[in-house]
Amino acid sequence: MGLDEKDFKEALEHRRYREVHQRMLHHAYNEVGINAVPTFIIGESVLQGLYSEEMLRDVIDRELG
């Protein structure tokens, strides 16, 4: 993925991004209502779980109007 192994390991060990991660989890759970992985937000549609390519295309087409 192009990550520097040393920097990545150091960030994990020192919990460099813990606060940011906690804020993002709070945002996802409490402000956006995401409680499943994967979740697709397409316009006003929120799809939680796995969907076929056809279903995703249909939702995108519908949202594009």
Give the number of domains in the chain: 2
- Do 41 and 28 belong to one domain? no
- Do 43 and 26 belong to one domain? no
Can you point out the beta strands (E) in the chain? Answer: 39-42, 45-48
Tokens representing 27? 């945002």
- Do 43 and 20 belong to one domain? no
pLDDT, residue 3, reads 87
- Do 28 and 45 belong to one domain? no
**10-58 pLDDT tens trace:** 999 999 999 999 999 999 999 988 999 999 999 999 999 999 999 999 9
- Do 26 and 40 belong to one domain? no
Taking the whole predicted model, whether its pTM rises above 0.85 is answered as no
- Do 25 and 12 belong to one domain? yes
Q: Which domain holds residue 48?
A: 35-65
1 pLDDT band, cuts 50/70/90, is confident
In angstroms, the first-to-last Cα distance of the chain is 36
- Do 11 and 23 belong to one domain? yes
pLDDT, residue 34, reads 92
